[in-house]
Structure 1
Amino acid sequence: MNNTKRAIELYKAVSAEKKEGPIMPSDKTNPGKAARLMLLLEPDQAAGVLEQLKPEEAEELTRQIANIRRVEAVDARVLLDEFSEYIGEIKARRVNGGVEAARDILSRAFSEEKAEQILNKAVPETRPQPFAFLNDLTSHQLISLMRDEPPDTIALVMAYVTPFLSSRLLKSLPPRERTKVILRMGHTGKILREDVISTEDSLKNKLRITGVDDSEAIDGKAVLADILRCMDPDEEQHLLSELEKADSSLAEQIKMQLYTMELVIEMRDRDLQTLLHNFADRDIAILLKGQPDTVKNKLLGSLSDRRRTLVEDEYELLGAVLKKDAETMVNLFLTKLREGEEEGTFIVFPDKYLS
C-alpha cells in the first residue's frame, strides 16, 4: 500500500474516534488529533489526504492545522505509537503548525487559487503578514538576499519571518553586525507603515513577489527571545554574552523572557515529577524559597503525598536561605528544564490543542 493510501486510512481512523474535548461542534470526529497527525506526515502525504476529503472536511482540517501552534516531540511520539499500523516509520519530532503550514499543504493538494479560497474560508481572519513571502525561502536564500542590507532592515525582517529563519540569518552575520542587529531588535517598538512598505517593496523588487503593506506593532524583546529558543544553547549563550557587553539592561530583559520559573505553572504534573526526580528534598525546598505561591503550589502539587510532606518539613527547617543559594538552585532547575524540553522528555511550551 502506498504512503498516500496509508495516510488516508490514518485520517479515517482518527476521524472515526470520539473527540477528546470541545474541538468542534460534531461529537463524531476528532479533527484536532487528525490535524496534529497530518503535520507529522510528509507534506505531500498530508496533501494527498486533503485531496480526498469533502469540502467541509478539508476546511475543518485546515482550520485545525492553522490553529495549532506546534506539536511537541513527546506528544508526537504518543500519536505515532497509537497509529503506527497506518503510517509505518515516522520520526517523532517537534513540528510547527499555523497558517503557513496549512497553506503549504493546501498548495500541494490544489491549485494556488483554490488553496487560498479554502484557507480564507476556513480561517476568515487570515491575512498575509508583511514579509510573509520571505518564509517561502530557504535559510540560504534568505541569507543571500539580506547580505547587503543594513542592520535596521535585517532587524525588521527578522521580526516577521519564522524564528527558525531568523536564527539562521542571525548566525550568518559577522559578530559586530550581529550585535547591531540584536540591539536594534531589542529596542524595536512600533514600526511606521511607510517604513514597512518601503522595505518590503525593496525586497519584493529583488524577488518579484507580491507582499502586503500593513504596519504592525512588534514586541522586539519577545520576538528575539523566541528566536533564541530556536538556537543551540551554546549559540544562544554566546549571543546573550555579546548583547550583555553592548547593553546589559536589554540582555537582562531578554533573559527574563526566556526560561523562567513561571513556565512550570503550565507543565503537566507527570513532567514535573520526572524533572524533580533527581533533585533531593532539600534542593526542592531551597528551590521553593522566594517563589510566588502559584509556582510553589504547582511544584508541591506535582509531588506524591509522602514526598510533599518531606519537602515541606525541609522548607520549614531551612528557614531563611542565602539569595545566592536560591538563585543557584533556580539556575540548575531551569537548565534541566530546558534540556528536557529540547530532548523531548517533557513539554515546557504546551499547545492549547494538545490533550
Structure 2
Amino acid sequence: MTGVQRAAIVLLSLGEQQAAEVLKHMGAREVQKLGVAMTTLGEVGRDAVARVFDEFIEVLARPGGIGSGADDYVRAVLTQALGEERASSLIDRILAGRNTTGLDTLKWMDPRAIAELVRNEHPQIIAIVMAHLDGDQAAEVLKCLPERARVDVLLRLATLDGIPPHALNELNDVMARQFAGSQSIKSSSVGGVKVAANILNFMDSGQDEALLGAIGEVDSELGTRIRDLMFVFDNLADLDDRAVQAVLREISSEQLALALRGADARVREKITGNMSQRAAEILLEDMEARGPVRLAEVEAAQKDILGVVRRMADNGDIQIAAKAEVLI
C-alpha cells in the first residue's frame, strides 16, 4: 500500500468526528488525496487494517517524538529522494513558504472564483498568485482569465525569479484580510520556467500550443525553454521500463487502446514492450477492431493517462524523465 492508502485506512477506522478533526490540520491537496484514497480503497481485510495500525503505532513509539527537527528531516529525505538540485525549490516552498496563509487559502477555492478575484489585478500580481497554486488548479484559473491576459500572465510567471519579501508579505496580507486573518512570511522564491511549464501541462490540447506560440513570438528562447520542460504523451517513451509497468497497472486497456491511436511509434513500442506477448496482441487487436474515433476522444484519453503519470510522480511511485522535472 502507498502511504496515502495507509493514512486513509487509519482515518476510516477513527470514526467521522475524529477523522474530521485530523483533516482540519491538513492542506487542500492533502485532503483531496486522502479523500480520493478513502473513496477508492475498496474492501480491506481485518489483517491488513491490523498491519497498518501496527506500523502506525511503531512510528509513534519511536524516541524523539514527532516534530523535533522536522525541518532537517524533510530536507534530508527530499534531497536523498530527488537529488539536491531538483529538491531545493520544493524544499523552499515547503519549509519557507508554509506560512503564506492568505495565498494558501486560494487552494481551497474554485478556479472560477480565483479568476474572478484576481481578474482586475495587475498581470504581475496574477502571476504571483498563480505561482502559489498547484499546477492543475493554476491551469484552470488561466483558462478562466480573458484570452488577452493569458499570454501576459504566463510570460511574467515564467520570468518570475523572486520578489522582495516585503512585497510578498503585503500581497499575502491583502489576501489574508479577505479570508479573515493575516500572517507574515519569509519566503520570496516563486514562479519560474518550470512552474509555467507545469501549468501548461494541465491546459487543454490546443490551448497549450496557442499560448506557447504567443510566448515564442515575444521571446523565442523562453518559449523553447518552457517547451523543453513540458511532459507530453510522447515523453512516455522516455520512462524507464519499471515506471511504464507501474503506470500500466493504473490504467484500463480500453483507455490505453484509445490513447495509442494518436501516439508516436516509439510510445507504442515502449508500451507493448512492457506487456506480455498475449496482452500486447489483444491491445493491438482492440485498436484495429475499433472504428474511427474523434481526435478529441484520443486527446482526452492521453490527458487522463498523463494525469495518472503526474499523480504517481507526485506520490514518489515513479520517476519521470529529466525533461519533466517540473512535475516532481
- TM-score class, shorter-chain normalisation, is 0.5 to 0.7
Structure whose CA Rg is larger: 1
Rounded Cα–Cα distance in structure 2 between residues aligned with 1:175 and 1:270: 35
Q: CA deviation at 1:157?
A: 0.7
Identity %: 20
Letter aligned with residue 246 of structure 1: V
From 63, 71, 83, the equivalent of 2:43 is 83
Distance in 2 between the 1:199 and 1:346 partners? 31
1:207-218 to 2 correspondences below 5 Å: 207-218=179-190
Question: How far apart are 1:152 and its partner, in Å?
Answer: 0.7
State the match for 1:129 in structure 2.
100
Alpha-carbon separation, structure 1, partners of 2:197 and 2:273: 29
Deviations 1:5-61 (A, max 9, x none): xxxxxxxxxxxxxxx48x5xxxxxxxx42435799xxxxxx79835346x9xx69xx
2:209 is aligned, of 221, 224, 237, to 237
- Determine whether 1:347 maps to 2:308: yes
Q: Following TM superposition, by how much is the alpha carbon of 1:142 offset from its aligned partner in structure 2, in angstroms?
A: 1.9
CA distance in 2 between counterparts of 1:204 and 1:187 reads: 26
Question: What residue is the counterpart of 1:146 in the other structure?
Answer: 118
Q: Which amino acid aligns with 1:204?
A: A
Q: Deviations over 1:136-164 (max 9, x none)?
A: 33333322321221011110111002334
Report the CA distance shift for 1:215/1:271 in structure 2 as closer, same or farther (over 3 A). Answer: same
1:83 counterpart SS class: coil
Q: Which residue matches 1:293?
A: none
**In structure 2, what is the equivalent of residue 196 of structure 1?**
168
* 1:199-231 Cα deviation digits (max 9, x unpaired): 223333444432432223235222122222333
Residues of 1 paired with 2:216 and 2:135: CA distance? Answer: 21
Letter in 2 for 1:49: G
User: Structure 2 residue aligned with 1:258, among 230, 248, 262?
Assistant: 230
Aligned-residue offset at 1:346: 8.6
Q: Deviations over 1:314-350 (max 9, x none)?
A: xxxxxxxxxxxxxxxxxxxxx9997545335993221
Distance in 2 (CA, whole Å) between partners of 1:190 and 1:184 is 11
| 1:310-325 mapped onto 2 (5 Å cutoff) | none
Distance of aligned partners of 1:337 and 1:123 in 2 relative to their CA distance in 1, 3 Å threshold: farther
Paired position in structure 1 for 2:245? 268
Please give the residue correspondences for 1:52-63 in structure 2 after superposition, counting only pairs within 5 Å: 52=18
Asked whether the equivalents of residues 139 and 200 of structure 2 are also in contact (C-alpha less than 8 Å), the reply is yes
How far is 1:246 from its partner?
Answer: 2.4
Letter in 2 for 1:173: L
> Partners of 1:49 and 1:239 in 2: how far apart?
47
What value does the CA root-mean-square deviation take over the aligned residues? Answer: 5.0
5+ residue gaps, structure 1: 1-19, 24-31, 40-45, 86-119, 289-295, 309-334
Q: Structure 1 pair 168/307, CA: closer, same or farther in 2 (3 Å)?
A: closer
Structure 1 residues 300-339: aligned runs within 5 Å: 302=274, 304=276, 339=300
- Give distance in 1, aligned partners of 2:165 and 2:113: 26
Number of matched pairs: 242
TM-score, length-scaled by structure 1? 0.51
- Following the alignment from structure 2 to structure 1, what is the Cα–Cα distance between the partners of residues 202 and 10? 23
**More helix by proportion, 1 or 2?**
2
Q: Equivalent residue for 1:92?
A: none
TM-score by length of 2: 0.54
Render the CA deviation track for 1:92-140: whole Å, top value 9, x for unaligned. xxxxxxxxxxxxxxxxxxxxxxxxxxxx969955733361122233333
* SS of corresponding position for 2:114: helix
Q: Distance in 1 between matches of 2:139 and 2:260?
A: 33
- Distance between the aligned counterparts of 1:69 and 1:267, measured in 2? 25
2:153 pairs with one of 181, 190, 201: 181
CA distance in 2 between partners of 1:68 and 1:353 (Å): 18
Q: Once the 2 structures are TM-superposed, how far is the Cα of residue 181 of structure 1 from its aligned partner?
A: 0.9
Out of 38, 51, 54, the residue aligned to residue 17 of structure 2 is 51
CA separation in 1, counterparts of 2:137 and 2:107? Answer: 8
Q: Is the 8 A contact 1:221 1:254 kept in 2?
A: yes
**Maintained 8 Å contact 2:136/2:202:** yes
Residue 129 (structure 2) aligns with: 157
